[in-house]
Structure 1
Amino acid sequence: MLELHCHTTFSDGMLTPTELVEAALVSGVRALAITDHDTVSGWDEAIAAAPPELEIVPGLELSTVYRDRSMHILGFYPDRDRLIPPLNERLAGRKRRAQEMIDKLAVLGYPIELPEMGEGMAPGRPHIAAAMVKAGYVESTRDAFDEFLGDAQPAFVQYEKFSAVDGIKLLRDCGAVPVWAHPFLYRGRPVKDILPELVEAGLMGVEVFHPSHTLWQAERLKEMCAKYGLLMTGGSDFHGMPADVKTDEFRSLNSLHVSLDLLEPVKQAAELLKR
């Protein structure tokens, strides 16, 4: 009944914060983290929409790079006032990246326009993919990724480099608990080789439970957390269900049934950071 990895329309999610709250309630979630990419702008709407029986956990997912490979770092309970100035630069970088991809598509003969996005909203590849579907260039967002936007495809643009070490430091400096998101999706060196370096940099937790992780991988991550004294978290990495995705491929809310018991240690760690 714990969801510590969810996205809204403020980054690349399909649901507004209010709609996400409603979906979480229907799914039996009792604590819901808002972890949009490089922005905290969805918090207020989610908090306002949530009834007393649903706790909103303020968070975000930083887009970073480690050894020239993409690495995402979740942060929980940050001091918003301290975090927003550096996040504004990250948000500007996401906008620059999106524009570069749009420019590449135009050169390839596929001009598109993104819809107007509100303040604090972070454009990403899913927005561009949806615009390509709307323009009739591809049949589905998956086709857009496979043919144009995926890594090494002709319209792909890498994130502006922001190191994972710097991201971890930023989160801790802002009172947030840094957690490595979906470690086994990292395409660099093996997790067991990288984790000690991240722990030395100040990493405090690992997302053990994620739809991409096998049972074997989750067990290995549990062992690593015990070895290094790290917090364990988990979530569905929920983005919403686009019309062109089949139900059996959908990462549904509360699909992992993550225990609420994992939340209290994260809260305690955040309190210690703020002292």
Structure 2
Amino acid sequence: MTRIDLHTHSSVSDGTEPPAEVVARARAAGVDVFALTDHDTAAGLKEAAAALPPGLTLVPGMELSCAYRGSSVHLACYLFDPEAPSLAAELRRIRDDRVNRAKEMVRLLRAAGVGVTWEQVRDIALNGGGDGELEAGVVVGRPHIARAIVAAGAAEDVQDAFDRWIGSGGPAYAARYALDPVRAVRAVREAGGVCSLAHPARAEGTLTGAVPVELAERMVRAGLGGIEADHPSHDEAETERWRGIARDLGVAVTGSSDDHGALTGHRIGVRTTAPEEFARLIEPATGAEPVTG
């Protein structure tokens, strides 16, 4: 049976390995189809496509950051045209504000006595690349800041850095620009892409931990095509609940590893999407096509 993992990250955003290494790990994990879904950028797709071995298929994608009533809601987006003017403009604004946010979080950390610098965070985001250009599409995320906090000795590991310093409501937390989820779905659909609601039981912020079903319903009306019910952070009850919601709303049920390399234990393929659900999800897409090595 074809094994399909629709949610992975590279060092272009907050994964730990470059896109070509993610491709190699997908092959080693026995995956037949995988999506590279770096946060708010398509910058790693060219490298990933060039590294594909025969028989492995790449679904061009990204994970789009959204905000709803003070909480973070994410969309796994696929087969869009990254040059579509409206979507491209929003992505530039999101990436620019990620930099502003990271600098503010560094300021707050330093004010609290944590010895991190923007240069350290920037270097981690560039995978040790020194003076490279963030403007090329590399995204700065909180995991980069968390790694700098660990290196400074102010946390035991990345999760502890989030819990102690930079998680929502933490002493060094700062908000940033993000799209409304309904508006985001429309923007991706206008760019020819399709979306699945990522890890819906894990909205971070003022919500009670899950995306409201009422919001999911409005997103479906705007063109949402799937719900990522099968996710490593979901327990069995949460998975079954969101599978049922997806069926009730008439959208595809997706499953994904949400692999971030070493940060998540190199788990590509631990959750997968059924081939018939994948075909249903991408059927309306017109902005790009899967790439097979």
- For residues 221-271 of structure 1, what are the alpha-carbon distances to aligned partners after superposition, in whole Å with 9 as ceiling and x for unaligned? 2222222221221201100114xxxxxx73611112433333222231213
TM-score, normalisation: structure 2: 0.85
Cα shift at 1:93? 1.2
Percent of matched pairs sharing the same residue: 34
Deviates more, 1:35-44 or 1:165-174: 165-174
Deviates more, 1:208-217 or 1:193-202: 193-202
Cα shift at 1:89? 1.2
Q: Which residue of 2 aligns with 1:110?
A: 114
Check whether the contact 2:191–2:287 (CA below 8 A) recurs between aligned residues.
Answer: no
Deviates more, 1:259-268 or 1:162-171: 259-268
Cα shift at 1:137? 3.1
Check whether the contact 2:105–2:173 (CA below 8 A) recurs between aligned residues.
Answer: yes
Q: Which residue of 2 aligns with 1:126?
A: 143
Q: Which residue of 1 aligns with 2:199?
A: 182
Match of 2:73 among 62, 71, 74: 71
Are 1:219 and 2:240 an aligned pair? Answer: yes
Cα shift at 1:201? 3.0
Counterpart CA distance in 2 for 1:56 and 1:4 is 9
Are 1:240 and 2:254 an aligned pair? Answer: no
Which consecutive residues of structure 1, in runs of 5 or more, have no partner in the other structure? 243-248
Counterpart CA distance in 1 for 2:81 and 2:287 is 13
Cα shift at 1:70? 0.9
Are 1:20 and 2:22 an aligned pair? Answer: yes
Match of 2:269 among 234, 254, 257: 254
Task: Summarize the Cα distance change of 1:193–1:253 in structure 2 as closer, same or farther, 3 Å threshold.
Answer: same
Counterpart CA distance in 1 for 2:247 and 2:69 is 25
Which consecutive residues of structure 2, in runs of 5 or more, have no partner in the other structure? 127-132
Cα shift at 1:129? 1.1
Check whether the contact 1:237–1:251 (CA below 8 A) recurs between aligned residues.
Answer: no
Counterpart CA distance in 2 for 1:17 and 1:196 is 34
Ranked by relative contact order (alpha carbons within 8 Å, sequence separation 6 or more), the top structure is 2
Check whether the contact 1:31–1:260 (CA below 8 A) recurs between aligned residues.
Answer: no
Check whether the contact 2:80–2:286 (CA below 8 A) recurs between aligned residues.
Answer: no
Q: Which residue of 1 aligns with 2:129?
A: none
Q: Secondary structure at the match of 1:269?
A: coil
Are 1:209 and 2:224 an aligned pair? Answer: no
Q: Secondary structure at the match of 2:88?
A: helix
Check whether the contact 1:5–1:35 (CA below 8 A) recurs between aligned residues.
Answer: yes
Q: Secondary structure at the match of 1:29?
A: coil
- For residues 126-159 of structure 1, what are the alpha-carbon distances to aligned partners after superposition, in whole Å with 9 as ceiling and x for unaligned? 1011112223333322221121111211101123
Task: Summarize the Cα distance change of 1:273–1:6 in structure 2 as closer, same or farther, 3 Å threshold.
Answer: closer
Q: Which residue of 1 aligns with 2:88?
A: 84
Q: 5 Å matches for 1:189-200?
A: 191-200=212-221
Q: Which residue of 2 aligns with 1:7?
A: 9
Deviates more, 1:198-207 or 1:63-72: 198-207
Match of 1:158 among 175, 188, 198: 175
Q: Which residue of 1 aligns with 2:62?
A: 60
Counterpart CA distance in 2 for 1:161 and 1:268 is 27
Q: Following superposition, which runs of at least 4 residues in structure 1 exceed 6 angstroms of deviation? A: none
Q: Which amino acid aligns with 2:105?
A: M
Calculate the aligned-residue CA RMSD, in Å.
2.1
